[in-house]
């Protein structure tokens, strides 16, 4: 698109944009693009095409243009969603709308509510920001036909997003995403969209009900309040919306008040202390670790900005604070799901699940304890759909410990379950590290890591995956290729997706590795997930072998991801 075409598109956009801020930004960008190549590139990207509506809904950079998050794209999405729901006989039914504290989240939520009301639905809008798990809980609690959560989760400050759930309280999957996207594409005149101010406020009792339900998970468990009070907890909300609800749940569950990282406690859409508000990012937990050291805490817990993820750090055997990988927390919560039931005289029955990029250990644990197991595509929209689910997780810090109440990942319920586990172990003079060692002794040392490359051109992702399909690596980490599963084909047994699984060595051998290459679902990245299993009976040897091969795998993977 040349500048003349861009200018025409921009003028047409400004004519329908109801936001004076983005109109002013676009005018300035047009002016700068005449002499500034960077501004021209930004303008071209903003009008490159519509922001794609997929199984994660919408997510992208804030700004003017069809390839940005703004009031135009959100209103189009809301109108398309309304038309989809009406076509499926949901007219007159409630739909719950929540939002976080990012820039414009409240505006996008209100726009959505007005359009849904104008279409004959019954929008129930939260009066203030809420964590994503509370929105997912509210859908089922109210018997709503759908839900919308305005959030970009752990993305950078310049982003926002738009998650859509149906009446089962789960995020949409194919083909629903395509059907809604088709309706969105038919919306080209915002002035023709009916609107109404007939918006109900979501009942305040929803928050109380969530707090009551989540705290009851622990109150019905095997620990006493005295045991729970013996744990000192440092918490960070990562500038998000998790503090109020998390602190209430923790208190009602009988734990001590949280020691809070004050600088990150209150919502801040600019995330002023962290460039990337993701607990997995290097440096994100520095303030929390400093407070944990000062307070001599037993554990550090962190939510991401919309509180659907949980990060954890503990003191290791050397006395240093160490963050746990998502797979470590995932397997600990799985172990505790089984263990805590046995301690109160119950037996767990059902199925555990994890995404394909999560550790292979959960399958072994589930089967060893007589439980079902199912592997799913990445994302809780898939994990939550497993029949008879009792527990599910994915390595990107997402855990579902109460699937009957919340059909999504929930960093708050996962937090109190981890606190219950840690308090129980402390009462016995034990640690999470010891449990992980015992599980490694039973199932092999499983070490996981990932390598990712951020791309400016999404076509690079397809080029890399195409090259790997045509010329797969014969050796990685010193192990020979034994099997390939192309996730784009039906041979995987999963819904087709763009990704490849490579196995090196064999499961019955002492050393075995798995490498998965796929695009990120939320960021412009290509990701490579690595796992090494060492079954050497000598713990120190197994750890050394796994660490060495994992490092070699990462080294071998890097050039593959950039196309070398």
- Enter the tokens of residue 72: 């135009």
Q: CA-CA distance, 95 to 78, in Å (whole number)?
A: 12
Rg (CA), the chain: 24
Q: How many CB atoms lie within 10 A of CB 6?
A: 19
Please report, in angstroms and rounded to a whole number, the separation of the first and last CA atoms in the chain.
31
Tell which residue, 525, 234, 232, 532, has the closest CA to residue 396.
525
Residue of 218, 215, 219, 222 whose CA lies nearest to 346? 222
**Dihedral over alpha carbons 228, 234, 240, 246 (to 10 degrees):** 10
Whether the Cβ atoms of residue 356 and residue 516 lie closer than 8 Å to each other = yes
Q: What is the DSSP string of 523-550?
A: SSEEEEEEEEEE--SSHHHHHHHHHHHH
Task: Classify 142 as helix, strand or coil.
Answer: helix
Q: Kindly report the CA angle at 50 between 160 and 499, in degrees rounded to 5? A: 80
What Å distances lie between residue 78 and 43, 75, 118, 155, 529, CA to CA?
A: 25, 5, 11, 22, 35
Q: CA neighbours within 13 Å on the CB side: how many for 168?
A: 13
Report the 10 Å Cβ neighbour count for 471: 9
**DSSP classification of residue 171:** B
Cis status, amide bond into 175, omega within 30 of 0:
yes
Q: Which residue spans within 254-371 are E strands per DSSP?
A: 259-260, 299-303, 310-315, 321-323, 351-355
CA distances from 36 to 4, 79, 260, 456 (A): 15, 36, 45, 19
Q: How far apart are CA 14 and CA 60, in angstroms?
A: 19
Q: Where are the beta strands (DSSP E) in 93-245?
A: 94-99, 122-125, 146-150, 159-166, 200-201, 233-236
Query: Among the options 32, 37, 41, 153, which is catalytic?
Result: 153
CA–CA dist 102, 62 (Å, integer): 10
User: Is 41 known to be catalytic?
Assistant: no
Q: Are 157 and 270 in contact (CB under 8 A)?
A: yes
How far apart CA 221 and CA 219 sit, in angstroms, is 5
**Strands (E) located in 100-155:** 122-125, 146-150
Encode 374-433 in three state secondary structure. EEECCCHHHHCCCCCEEEEEECCCEEECCCCCCCCCCHHHHHHHHHHHHHHHHHCCCCHH
Phi, psi of 29 (to 5 degrees): -65, -40
Q: Which residues are catalytic?
A: 153
């Amino acid at each position: 698109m040349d500048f003349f075409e861009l200018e025409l598109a921009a003028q047409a956009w400004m004519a329908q944009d109801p936001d004076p801020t983005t109109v002013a930004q676009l005018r300035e960008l047009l002016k700068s693009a005449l002499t500034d190549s960077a501004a021209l590139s930004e303008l071209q990207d903003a009008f490159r095409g519509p922001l794609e509506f997929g199984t994660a809904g919408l997510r992208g950079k804030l700004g003017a243009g069809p390839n940005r998050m703004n009031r135009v794209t959100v209103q189009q999405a809301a109108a398309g969603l309304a038309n989809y729901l009406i076509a499926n006989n949901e007219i007159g039914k409630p739909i719950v709308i929540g939002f976080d504290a990012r820039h414009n989240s409240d505006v996008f939520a209100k726009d959505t509510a007005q359009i849904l009301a104008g279409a004959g639905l019954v929008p129930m809008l939260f009066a203030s920001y809420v964590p994503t798990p509370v929105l997912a809980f509210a859908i089922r609690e109210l018997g709503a036909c759908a839900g919308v959560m305005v959030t970009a989760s752990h993305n950078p400050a310049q982003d926002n997003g738009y998650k859509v759930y149906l009446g089962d309280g789960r995020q949409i999957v194919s083909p629903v995403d395509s059907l809604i996207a088709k309706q969105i594409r038919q919306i080209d005149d915002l002035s023709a969209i009916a609107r109404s101010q007939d918006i109900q406020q979501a009942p305040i009792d929803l928050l109380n009900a969530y707090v009551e339900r989540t705290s009851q998970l622990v109150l019905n468990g095997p620990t006493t309040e005295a045991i729970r009070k013996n744990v000192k907890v440092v918490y960070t909300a990562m500038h998000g919306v998790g503090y109020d609800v998390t602190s209430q749940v923790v208190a009602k569950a009988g734990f001590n008040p949280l020691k809070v990282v004050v600088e990150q406690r209150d919502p801040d859409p600019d995330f002023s202390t962290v460039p990337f508000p993701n607990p997995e990012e290097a440096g994100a937990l520095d303030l929390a670790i400093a407070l944990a050291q000062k307070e001599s805490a037993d554990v550090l817990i962190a939510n991401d900005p919309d509180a659907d993820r949980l990060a954890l750090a503990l003191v290791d055997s050397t006395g240093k604070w160490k963050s746990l990988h998502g797979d470590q927390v995932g397997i600990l919560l799985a172990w505790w799901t089984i263990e805590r039931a046995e301690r109160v005289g119950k037996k767990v029955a059902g199925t555990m699940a994890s995404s394909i990029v999560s550790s292979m250990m959960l399958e072994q644990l589930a089967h060893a304890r007589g439980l079902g197991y199912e592997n799913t595509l990445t994302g809780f929209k898939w994990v939550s759909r497993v029949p008879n689910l009792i527990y599910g997780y994915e390595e990107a810090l997402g855990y579902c410990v109460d699937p009957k109440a919340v059909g999504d990942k929930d960093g708050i319920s996962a937090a109190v379950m981890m606190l219950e586990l840690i308090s129980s172990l402390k009462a016995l003079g034990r640690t999470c590290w010891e449990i992980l060692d015992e599980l490694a002794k039973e199932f092999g040392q499983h070490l996981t890591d990932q390598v990712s490359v951020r791309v400016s051109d999404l076509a690079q992702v397809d080029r890399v995956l195409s090259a790997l399909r045509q010329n797969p690596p014969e050796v990685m980490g010193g192990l020979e290729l034994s099997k390939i599963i192309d996730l784009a084909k039906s041979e995987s047994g999963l819904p087709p997706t763009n990704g490849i699984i490579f196995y090196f060595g064999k499961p019955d051998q002492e050393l075995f590795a798995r490498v998965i290459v796929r695009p990120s679902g939320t960021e412009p990245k290509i990701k490579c997930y690595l796992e090494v299993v060492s079954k050497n009976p000598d713990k120190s040897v197994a750890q050394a072998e796994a660490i060495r091969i994992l490092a070699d795998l990462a080294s071998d993977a890097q050039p593959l991801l950039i196309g070398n």
